Structure 1
Amino acid sequence: MGQKVHPNGFRVGITKRWNSRWIANKETYGTWLVEDQLIKRFVRNSCHQAGVEKVQIERTNGQVKIFIFAARPGIIIGKKGSEIEKLNRALMNNFGDNISVDIREVKNVKTNAQLVAMNVAEQLEKRTYFRRAMNKAIESAVEDKCKGIKILLSGRLGGAEMARSEKQIFGSLPLGTLEVDIDYGFAEATTTYGQIGVKVWINKGYFRDKVEEI
């Protein structure tokens, strides 16, 4: 039997933070859980050109604070803050008045697994040959001194009649330990042949090495 676990679920609460941070009772838990998913989906759809890596939500004293981590925060903010005001108003109209938005810039874009997966998916949608898209992403990550990277594509690759999976691995990628900072990302490419799934794992090194550097 295959023993598979989601890479983020395996590490959340230990080496990774929760993306939704609040405490609820039985009456409000289900409502807030669904609302969080709707907010995240709304933000991703509204800011898809900004390269949104993740959306985190905090709820305290009736206030909802939304943290948007993006590769291109200037697109979300807009000229003189015009775009972020529109986003804030849209969120308030859909999810209530007690909402505030905080934009954070994502650094090291080439070694961010979610952004790499989104970039590969975008290349596939532009009809770039899948092996070329994978090689380009791996080369960029290696230039940025990542310890290891794996990219897995699944679907009708190259317009083949039968769906299949293809992966490329570079360097070291120990997935069974919590001592290593493993970043995971997933994206989907919508092509004329159907959906192609893109999964990316990136090894950012041992946590103990980062502590020693500090």
Structure 2
Amino acid sequence: MIERKFVSEKLKEFMIGEHVNEKLKHAGQSEIKLKKTPLGEKLIITASRPGLVVGRKGENIKVLTSDLKKKFKLDNPQIEIEEVENQFMDSRIMADKIAMTLERFGAARFKSIGYRVLTDIMNAGALGAEILISGKIPSARAKRWRFYQGYLKKSGSVAVDGVLTSYTIANLKTGVVGIQVRIMPANLELPDKIDYKQAPVLEDVTDKKVAGKTEELSEEVEDKAEKSKKVAKKATKKVAKKATKKTAKKLLKK
């Protein structure tokens, strides 16, 4: 019974998410969460364009609340809207953007669309990104086109938990086209990344002390030598004065 209840709740949450995605296709929704509160069910919608989610005078919110009550039998649904901080780092928004542009402009410009979205993702600061577009594009024969740049993990726990992956489809005249977007964010900590730290430079304190003492001694020796030179000059001047006085007296006596 517990397993059935758990599966039914998850299935209900999935159906609500699909319904919201259909209603708000152009709002750039990223994530939809359903939480239970004491007042009732709370639906959290994360989107890049919150204004389109609300609609004019809250029309979209009113339609969503009535649909949630009628179709999914929610007693008191409360809708909360959050804005995406960086839409270029969200794989779901980027996949929907590619699908919308392909449906609008057709399959003739699929390469420019893929490369443009890839450059936007890398300019936003991603470590790596990959875009796969598969289907009857541009010809009648099905192919898979790959747009890749940067560093991207393909296996391991980092690829499963850290890399952001999203899938969506685009309905074209030639048929259904599958789109897969994988983004490796810049804040992801890699287990194989090694940061090399510089070894601390050890300074010899004894050498500094000895060098300081030798400098002080050399300065003292220089000062003493200058003082001795000054004393010697004064003594020679005194002797010269005395000698001149004696010679002058002798000349006067004669």
Equivalent of residue 64 in structure 2, options 84, 87, 99: 87
The reply on whether 1:112 has 2:93 as its aligned counterpart is no
Query: d(CA) in 1 for partners of 2:132 and 2:3?
Result: 39
Q: After superposition, where does 1:40-189 map in structure 2 within 5 Å?
A: 40-60=17-37, 63-96=40-73, 97-125=75-103, 126-127=105-106, 128-158=108-138, 160-179=139-158, 181-189=162-170
Equivalent of residue 192 in structure 1, options 161, 166, 173: 173
Aligned length: 185
Change (3 A) 1:65 1:205: same
Q: Which one has the bigger strand percentage?
A: 1
Q: Is the 8 A contact 2:140 2:174 kept in 1?
A: no
Residue of structure 2 equivalent to 1:17: none
* Gap regions ≥5 residues in structure 1: 1-23, 210-214
CA-to-aligned-CA distance 1:149-197 (integer Å, 9 cap, x gap): 1001110011x12111110110000132435731111111100000000
Q: Is the 8 A contact 2:163 2:182 kept in 1?
A: yes
One-letter identity of the residue aligned with 2:140: E
TM-score (ref. length: structure 2): 0.66
* Greater alpha carbon shift after TM alignment, 33-42 vs 149-158: 33-42
Residue of structure 2 equivalent to 1:16: none
Residue of structure 2 equivalent to 1:39: 16
TM-score (ref. length: structure 1): 0.78
User: How much does 1:65 deviate?
Assistant: 1.8
Q: Is the 8 A contact 1:154 1:164 kept in 2?
A: yes
Query: d(CA) in 2 for partners of 1:157 and 1:113?
Result: 22
One-letter identity of the residue aligned with 2:23: S
* Greater alpha carbon shift after TM alignment, 76-85 vs 43-52: 76-85
Query: d(CA) in 2 for partners of 1:197 and 1:121?
Result: 9
Which structure is higher in RCO with an 8 Å CA cutoff and minimum separation 6?
Answer: 1
Query: d(CA) in 2 for partners of 1:121 and 1:82?
Result: 26
Q: Which runs of 4+ in 1 moved over 4 A?
A: none
Q: Is the 8 A contact 2:34 2:42 kept in 1?
A: yes
One-letter identity of the residue aligned with 1:203: M
* Greater alpha carbon shift after TM alignment, 148-157 vs 27-36: 27-36
One-letter identity of the residue aligned with 2:78: S
RMSD, aligned α-carbons: 2.2
Residue of structure 2 equivalent to 1:20: none
Q: Is the 8 A contact 1:179 1:206 kept in 2?
A: no
* Gap regions ≥5 residues in structure 2: 191-254
Q: Which one has the bigger helix percentage?
A: 2
Query: d(CA) in 1 for partners of 2:4 and 2:123?
Result: 50
